[in-house]
Amino acid sequence: MLQLKIVSPEKVEFEGKVESVKVPGSQGMFEILTNHAPIISTLQSGVVEYDGRQLAVTGGFVTVQKNEVSLCVEKG
């Protein structure tokens, strides 16, 4: 399981445990699963998908470390 936190300038959009997260990285869409290697990536406009939910974003960044995923996003 991953601990996911999604924050926008307005509020905390989501915080909780998820199986996976798909994000629109600057080099294309990629999926984060349990035990993913540490990474920091910028996000482009697209959709963040997690446990059957979707969140449209216009940009931001994602960090992954020790099964903790943090997204700082801008919503359109």
Q: What percent of the chain has pLDDT over 90?
A: 96
| Residue 68: per-residue pLDDT | 98
| Reported pTM | 0.94
Task: Quickly list DSSP for 5-54.
Answer: EEE-SS-EEEEEEESEEEEEETTEEEEEETTPPPEEEEE-SEEEEETTEE
Contacts of 52 (CB under 8 A, 6+ apart): none
| Residue 76: per-residue pLDDT | 75
**Residues of the chain with confidence (pLDDT) below 70:** none
